[in-house]
């Protein structure tokens, strides 16, 4: 039986800096084998969220470009390997195997933009983060959804995220 998906947390970030604080707080909760699916329209802030998350992990700050054309970028952050996928241009879900996505799911932290293009290959135990543009240019509504495990791991995430910065 599949895990039930829960709404875990919801935020109204008023700036890119606030969005970054939420991403940095999440980074403290992640480890190898986790899959973070970033959902949102073009310009919703998926890459900015991924950049803040990646740079919050141990290691030297890096330029984190959108992997729109390469489809995947990898980073070493301390003992953690991170695979950042942008699947906007993926023709078929099976093509993700050519990118090494099965290795990423097994051994790395996977951050996936345009996760819907993976279809049924997206692991059911992923954390889904939906970013939506709100009233102001840099304002975002950010919603976290996940299974029972994510619900437990992020049980006090809202408190941590609102005090981080």
Taking residues 74-97, report their average pLDDT: 91
- Residue 163: the pLDDT is 54
Q: Tally the domains of the chain.
A: 1
Distance (Å, whole) CA 133 – CA 105: 29
Q: Is residue 1 part of a domain?
A: no
Q: Which CATH number belongs to the domain containing residue 127 in this structure?
A: 3.40.50.300
62 pLDDT tier (thresholds 50, 70, 90): confident
pLDDT at 148: 92
The answer as to whether 27 is a domain residue is yes
Range of the domain at 135: 6-163
pLDDT, tens digit, 9 for 90 and up, residues 2-20: 578 899 999 999 888 999 9
Task: Inform me whether the pLDDT recorded for 161 exceeds 70.
Answer: no
Model pTM score: 0.90
Residue 121 CB burial class (10 angstroms; 0-12, 13-18, ≥19) = middle
Q: Please state, in angstroms and rounded to a whole number, the distance separating the CA atoms of residues 165 and 151.
A: 23
Alpha-carbon distance of 47 to 82, in angstroms, equals: 14
**Residue 109 counted as domain residue:** yes
**Measured torsion, CA atoms of residues 51, 140, 33, 56, in degrees rounded to the nearest 10:** 40
Whether the pLDDT of residue 165 is over 60: the answer is no
Domain contains 124: yes
Answer yes or no: is 29 within a domain: yes
Rounded to 5 degrees, φ, ψ at 14 are: -90, -5
């Amino acid at each position: 039986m599949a895990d039930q998906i829960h709404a875990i947390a919801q935020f109204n970030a008023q700036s890119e800096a606030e969005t970054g604080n939420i991403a940095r707080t999440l980074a403290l909760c992640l480890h190898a084998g986790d899959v973070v699916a970033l959902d949102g329209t073009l310009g919703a802030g998926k890459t900015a969220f991924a950049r803040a998350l990646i740079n919050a992990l141990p290691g030297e700050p890096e330029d984190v470009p959108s992997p729109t054309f390469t489809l995947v970028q990898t980073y070493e952050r301390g003992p953690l390997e991170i695979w950042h996928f942008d699947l906007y241009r993926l023709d078929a879900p099976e093509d993700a195997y050519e990118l090494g996505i099965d290795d990423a799911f097994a051994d790395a932290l996977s951050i996936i933009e345009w996760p819907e293009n993976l279809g049924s290959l997206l692991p059911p135990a992923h954390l889904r983060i939906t970013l939506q543009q709100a009233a102001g240019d840099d304002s975002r509504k950010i919603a976290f959804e996940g299974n029972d495990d994510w619900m437990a791991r992020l049980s006090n995430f809202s408190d941590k995220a609102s005090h981080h910065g």
